[in-house]
Chains A and B, each alone.
Chain A
Amino acid sequence: MTIAEIDRILREFTIATSSTTEDLELQALRTAIFVEDTFGLTLTDNELDASLLNDSVMLRALVIKMVGDQ
């Protein structure tokens, strides 16, 4: 998967989650479910971190790294 494809999907993700109102931990879990299912990844508990997953820049970096490592 190319970086352009990853970026396209992450842009879609911002549309899909624009209306959610959960607490930060639940938002992070929602993001984790999306990332794992869409990109075929498995996150560690360390990576199930709201400060990481709820930040679009850090999320992008994480996905690009993990997809590249596959």
Chain B
Amino acid sequence: MCGVCGIVTDGPTPDRSLITSMMAQLSHRGPDGSGYLVDRGAILGQTRLAIIDTVGGVQPLSNEDGTIWVVFNGEIFNYLELARELKRSGHHFRTASDTEVIVHAWEEWGEDCFNRFNGQWAIALWDRIHRRLIMSRDRLGVRPLYYHLGPDGITFASEVKAIFTNPAVPRRLDPVGLDQIFTYWSTVAPVTPFEGIQQIPPGHLASYADGEFSVRPYWQISFPERGREASQDLEENAAGLRERLIEATRLRFERSDVPVGAYLSGGLDSSVTTAIIRNFTDAPVDTFSVRFQDAEFDEGYFQRLMAKRLDTRHQEIVVAPGDIADIFPEVVWHAESPILRSAPAPLFLLSRLVHQSGYKVVVTGEGADEMLGGYDIFREARVRGFWARDRNSALRDRAAELLYPWMARNPTQAPAFARSFFGMALDPADPAMSHRPRWNSTGALHSLLSSSMRARLETEPLTDFAEALPPDSKSWDPLARAQWLEMVTLLPGYILASQGDRMLMANSVEGRFPFLDHNVVTFANSLPARHKLFGLDEKFLLKYAFADLVPDEIRYRPKQPYRAPDAASFFAKRPPEWLQESLSTEAVLAAGVFDPRQVTGLVQKARQRAGRLGNTDNMRVLAVASTQLLHRQFIADDPARNAAEFPPQPVHIFDLIHKERHSDDEAH
């Protein structure tokens, strides 16, 4: 795991100070060293978190004759198998790194190489002969890759803050991006929260040459026609899932030259991955968990249950609301996006614990809910479909209690509440019926917008994301359509970004996600819907396939979505100074996103209730606080001022113009 950056231009070769500034901004992603190359019209750089071939895998790295160079953030987990195949085809390797596989694979297979990679990546290849930049991102968006197209060329980087070190790149928030976040919870690639900054969509590759830029997919999420899935047999599918998940976990645990730890959340997914590590590898297992002072959010009992069962060396961090308030500005700095929940903050603290414990890599359970039907939104869609089939039924209302058992404690009120919320937008013909309640309730954030922001959005109305569903999705099971919407919006835009890559990389830790192994994903997508969500029983096949490794107490505990105290983190006690400054009328007017009177009213409400707010008001507080911070950190202030002065040492320099290689003395 690392940071990548670069500039390719049709004009003069960029100054080296630009690339070293960009690399300095990416120090947290790669503190073990850095390197850059200089060619006519191109500079490419990388900051390194050394995990595979820690000595030999210096970047940038080239093929045999130096005509193809790569900077790479991520891991190609099947690199050993690919290297063997490429060597048999005549390629010569100088290192034992997965990075070198990329240049030889590009030589051998061209664009098809990305379909052969099993991993997580953001890759930039520089073809010296054709003077062409190729960028690629992994299939599901584990690793980020942003770019800015200017009049003379392209600037790219793992994080926006690095692109912003180029003074030629304007810094503005993008109303279209904000509109998406305030509806879908995240932007949808290529859109970002910043105007003029785009991101390579997951599963895509991009090309830049002679001033021409193009992007196209090399892989797409797909599902079979309902009723025509590859196998209907439970035992066969359970064995298939088990085999693939064990292999995916084993690869991610073993393909490392440094120790690998594991996250334990107390839920099913990380219990499965950690149990696989314990039962199918020989190494001792260090596990890490985040807990909460507030019992409403704490899962400590289940975390310790699993840690004890697996006899791991277990560490935990207990988070208080004040901790979240203290670090929230740093969280936004790393997330580079407005966020509607405080949930990334405890994960920042958890990865800091991992780093302080001497670990660079952890295996985690992200992705299972998307791939195997785990989210409440999928269950809610089932109940809503049940209501929609007979809206006049006197008996169907109670189905809401199957979703949320707490409703049984308010039997006269609960069905009415559930109907009013979940019963909205009940149109079975709507391919996005599963997501309308979320989109509509999140859309309430628009009531906070300033008049100028609203006016701007009227000129660029939000496209209904349901229109982005593939044409053949009409034949999919409704669960598959809902899964697709999650995999294209929340997964890459929030779960893997703000909560995943950013919070891990902030503390120089690489996350690895077995459930996002493309063999697991492809197999999961091929399953009949009932093997994922069996009636209302979520992740049915996962629970069935790993019944021997995960105790019933965890397999059958009610789903507890990972959450953290939201507005209560800021308002239970005296609000932190940064919040008071960020939400001041002056700051709100300066950012121009929100109406100051709306913000003042929201703050008063939050203070009066000590932050104990409903779901929508919690989202409002987080949206306003994070957007205001984002504006201050990236727009009002120059983000380059926060950067380290120098890139991580040692710095390896490849001057292709003068055909020289230097070490770090030249860097400063």
* Chain A interfacial positions (CB closer than 8 Å to B): 5, 8-9, 12-13, 15-17, 19, 22, 25-26, 29-34, 36-38, 42, 44-45, 48
How many interface residues does B have (CB within 8 Å)?
Answer: 27
Q: Cα distance A21–B399 when bound, in Å?
A: 15
Given A5-B232, A12-B534, A45-B394, A30–B389 Cβ distance below 8 Å? no
Query: In the complex, are the beta carbons of A36 and B401 less than 8 A apart?
Result: no
Question: Which residue of B385, B394, B395, B540 has the most chain A CB atoms within 10 A of its CB atom?
Answer: B395
Q: Cα distance A48–B396 when bound, in Å?
A: 9
Query: In the complex, are the beta carbons of B396 and A16 less than 8 A apart?
Result: no
17 CB-based A-B contacts, threshold 8 Å:
A9-B232, A12-B234, A15-B234, A16-B535, A16-B540, A26-B398, A29-B399, A30-B536, A31-B535, A33-B382, A33-B383, A33-B536, A34-B535, A37-B382, A37-B535, A45-B394, A48-B393
Query: In the complex, are the beta carbons of A29 and B395 less than 8 A apart?
Result: yes
Q: Cα distance A16–B386 when bound, in Å?
A: 19
Q: Cα distance A50–B390 when bound, in Å?
A: 18
Query: In the complex, are the beta carbons of B398 and A16 less than 8 A apart?
Result: no
Query: In the complex, are the beta carbons of A29 and B232 less than 8 A apart?
Result: no
Contacts of B398 in A (CB 8 A): 25-26, 29
Q: Cα distance A22–B558 when bound, in Å?
A: 13
B562 within 8 A of A: no
Q: Contact check: which of A8, A13, A25, A44 meets B534 at CB < 8 Å? A: A13
Contacts of A36 in B (CB 8 A): 385-386, 389
Query: In the complex, are the beta carbons of B536 and A12 less than 8 A apart?
Result: no
Q: Which residue of chain A has its CB nearest to the CB of B556?
A: A19
B457 within 8 A of A: no
Quick one: CB contact mask for B548-589 with A, threshold 8 Å, 1 for yes?
000010001000000000000000000000000000000000
Q: Which residue of chain B has its CB nearest to the CB of A46?
A: B395
Query: In the complex, are the beta carbons of B401 and A26 less than 8 A apart?
Result: yes
* Chain B interfacial positions (CB closer than 8 Å to A): 232-234, 382-383, 385-386, 389-390, 393-396, 398-399, 401-402, 529-530, 534-537, 540, 544, 552, 556
Contacts of B402 in A (CB 8 A): 22, 26, 29-30, 33
Query: In the complex, are the beta carbons of B556 and A16 less than 8 A apart?
Result: no
Q: Cα distance A29–B402 when bound, in Å?
A: 8
Contacts of B394 in A (CB 8 A): 45
Query: In the complex, are the beta carbons of B399 and A17 less than 8 A apart?
Result: no
Given A16-B540, A42-B389, A34–B534 Cβ distance below 8 Å? yes
Query: In the complex, are the beta carbons of B386 and A33 less than 8 A apart?
Result: yes
Dominant secondary structure of chain A at its interface with chain B = helix
Query: In the complex, are the beta carbons of A32 and B386 less than 8 A apart?
Result: yes
Contacts of A25 in B (CB 8 A): 398
Contacts of A29 in B (CB 8 A): 386, 395-396, 398-399, 402
Query: In the complex, are the beta carbons of A45 and B395 less than 8 A apart?
Result: yes
Query: In the complex, are the beta carbons of A8 and B395 less than 8 A apart?
Result: no
Q: Which residue of chain A has its CB nearest to the CB of B383?
A: A33
Contacts of A15 in B (CB 8 A): 234, 544
Q: Which residue of chain A has its CB nearest to the CB of B531?
A: A12
Query: In the complex, are the beta carbons of B530 and A38 less than 8 A apart?
Result: yes
Query: In the complex, are the beta carbons of B395 and A33 less than 8 A apart?
Result: no
Q: Which residue of chain B has its CB nearest to the CB of A1?
A: B227
Contacts of A31 in B (CB 8 A): 535
Contacts of B534 in A (CB 8 A): 12-13, 16, 34
Q: Cα distance A40–B390 when bound, in Å?
A: 14
Taking the nearest CB of chain A, how far is it from the CB of B553, in angstroms? 11
Query: In the complex, are the beta carbons of A8 and B399 less than 8 A apart?
Result: no
Contacts of B393 in A (CB 8 A): 45, 48
Q: Contact check: which of B390, B535, B540 meets A33 at CB < 8 Å? A: B535
Q: Contact check: which of B233, B399, B401, B535 meets A13 at CB < 8 Å? A: B535
Q: Which residue of chain B has its CB nearest to the CB of A20?
A: B537
Taking the nearest CB of chain B, how far is it from the CB of A54, in angstroms? 14
Contacts of A17 in B (CB 8 A): 535, 537
Q: Which residue of chain B has its CB nearest to the CB of A37?
A: B382
Q: Cα distance A47–B234 when bound, in Å?
A: 28
Contacts of A33 in B (CB 8 A): 382-383, 386, 399, 402, 535-536
Contacts of A37 in B (CB 8 A): 382, 385-386, 529-530, 535
Query: In the complex, are the beta carbons of A16 and B537 less than 8 A apart?
Result: yes
Taking the nearest CB of chain A, how far is it from the CB of B225, in angstroms? 14
Q: With A5-B232, A8-B232, A12-B234 given, can you name 20 additional A-B contacts, CB distance below 8 Å?
A: A8-B233, A9-B232, A13-B534, A16-B537, A17-B535, A19-B556, A22-B401, A22-B402, A29-B398, A30-B536, A32-B386, A33-B386, A33-B399, A37-B386, A37-B530, A38-B529, A45-B393, A45-B394, A48-B393, A48-B395
Q: Cα distance A43–B63 when bound, in Å?
A: 64
Q: Cα distance A42–B385 when bound, in Å?
A: 11
